[in-house]
């Protein structure tokens, strides 16, 4: 036998979706948005992105894809310097919550997102050069079968590591 009468329980369940779930959703959504948009987290993402872009540039340069023109060789140091300045300012602002809030309100998050996008765009450019080079090599020798595995993520070697050891 239920302790509560059925009428108050049904009245409570009817009132919950309109009056209860909105604030509960806001309480859980706001911290997630603040976390994902925090400049300190985005600075770490930017540091990882520039490291991947530099690695792609080095691989492309050693493979002969990046010819070493003045503009291409100057682009990575310019990116590195801009990223370093933005990360340094973000880390300095993170020491004080007032400075962090002021930086957030002044658009530090947008600056970090713009830098992340620029670094990713440069890395994509290098990867496009790699893909076009693979296509050109396969067109030059139609009998050759190019089964090069492309890595899925950072540090992933896939079947290539097993083939080299076998």
Instruction: Give residue-wise pLDDT tens across range 79-126.
Output: 889 999 999 998 888 888 888 888 888 888 899 999 999 999 989 988
Give me the residues of the chain with pLDDT under 50, please. Answer: 1, 145-147, 149, 158-166
Q: What is the DSSP letter of 3?
A: S
- The share of the chain scoring above pLDDT 70, in percent, equals 65
Burial of 159 (0-12, 13-18, 19+ CB in 10 A): exposed
- In whole angstroms, give the CA distance from residue 54 to residue 131: 18
Q: Angle at which helices 97-105 and 108-140 pack, to 10 degrees?
A: 60
116 φ/ψ angles, rounded to the nearest 5 degrees: -60, -45
pLDDT at 46: 92
Domain boundaries, the chain: 19-148
């Amino acid at each position: 036998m239920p302790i509560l009468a059925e009428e108050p329980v049904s009245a409570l369940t009817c009132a919950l979706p309109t009056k209860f779930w909105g604030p509960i959703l806001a309480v859980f959504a706001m911290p997630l948005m603040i976390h994902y948009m925090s400049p300190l987290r985005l600075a770490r993402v930017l540091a990882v992105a520039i490291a991947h872009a530099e690695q792609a540039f080095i691989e492309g340069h050693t493979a002969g894809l990046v010819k070493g023109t003045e503009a291409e060789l100057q682009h990575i140091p310019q990116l590195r310097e801009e990223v370093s300045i933005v990360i340094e300012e973000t880390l300095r602002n993170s020491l004080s919550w007032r400075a962090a809030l002021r930086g957030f309100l002044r658009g530090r998050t947008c600056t970090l997102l713009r830098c992340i996008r620029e670094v990713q765009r440069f890395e994509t450019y290098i990867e496009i050069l790699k893909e076009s080079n693979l296509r050109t090599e396969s067109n030059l020798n139609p009998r050759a079968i190019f089964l090069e595995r492309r890595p899925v993520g950072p540090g992933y070697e896939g079947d290539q590591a097993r083939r080299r050891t076998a």
